Amino acid sequence: MSTASDDSTKQWWPADFRLIYRVNFGSELSLELEIQNDGTAHLHFEEALNAYHRVGDVRRARLHGLDMVQYVDKTDGYRKKLQQGEVVVTRETDRVYLNTPNALALLDPASRRRVCLVKENSLTTVVWNPVANKAKSMSDLGYHEWTQFLCIETSNVAANAVILLPKSSTA
């Protein structure tokens, strides 16, 4: 899939760009986002590939690979904190893990599976789940559906936003 800047896109973002999103399905799922700066000025942007991972019970799921990584806790006034051990969802979770180029592993004992997440050209990881209180106020999420997913976003946000030189590409 692709899109490019035109008069309608320039109403909300004045940049000259072309965006290509590639998805490959098979024994592995591969997501790739390429952005081309077609303009004459630097292009500064953030991006995230939102992947909602189905789990048997998010309260039992464990995310490995972020131990001793600093994160911004969006549920606690954007305070910077240090992850200690595996990520476990026990309350509303909305975190931006900084400087995270390495692979992650999602362990899902309720479904008896392990999902490996490999990243390239991604320096932040967002982990999100609203849990019960917030889920019931969301029109696009059923009250009990929060227990069945963990959103893990391969991203470049905050201090790791991308600055793309004119006439260059992220790929």
Per-residue pLDDT of 27-39, as tens digits, reads: 889 999 999 999 9
Distance CA 14, CA 118 (A): 33
**Could you tell me if residue 37 is inside a domain?**
yes
Q: Are 73 and 66 in contact (CB under 8 A)?
A: no
At 132 the pLDDT is: 82
At 141 the pLDDT is: 80
**Could you tell me if residue 70 is inside a domain?**
yes
Distance CA 79, CA 95 (A): 10
**Could you tell me if residue 169 is inside a domain?**
no
**Could you tell me if residue 118 is inside a domain?**
yes
Residue bearing tokens 């969006």: 74
Number of domains in the chain: 1
Does position 171 have pLDDT exceeding 90, yes or no? no
Which of the four pLDDT bands, split at 50, 70 and 90, describes residue 139?
Answer: confident
**Could you tell me if residue 75 is inside a domain?**
yes
**Could you tell me if residue 170 is inside a domain?**
no
Distance CA 111, CA 122 (A): 28
**Could you tell me if residue 171 is inside a domain?**
no
Does position 92 have pLDDT exceeding 90, yes or no? yes
Predicted model pTM: 0.90
Across the strands, what pairs with 162?
A: 45
Q: Name the H helices within the chain.
A: 131-135
At 138 the pLDDT is: 82
Q: What is the mean pLDDT of residues 11-19?
A: 94
Could you list the residue range(s) of the whole structural domain that residue 148 is in? Answer: 2-164
**29: closest CA among 60, 1, 46, 53?**
53
Does position 89 have pLDDT exceeding 90, yes or no? yes
At 144 the pLDDT is: 81
**Could you tell me if residue 78 is inside a domain?**
yes
At 135 the pLDDT is: 82
Does position 75 have pLDDT exceeding 80, yes or no? yes
Q: Is 23 exposed, middle or buried (0-12, 13-18, 19+ CB in 10 A)?
A: exposed
Q: Are 101 and 125 in contact (CB under 8 A)?
A: no
Q: What is the CATH number of the domain that holds 77?
A: 2.70.98.10
Distance CA 112, CA 98 (A): 29
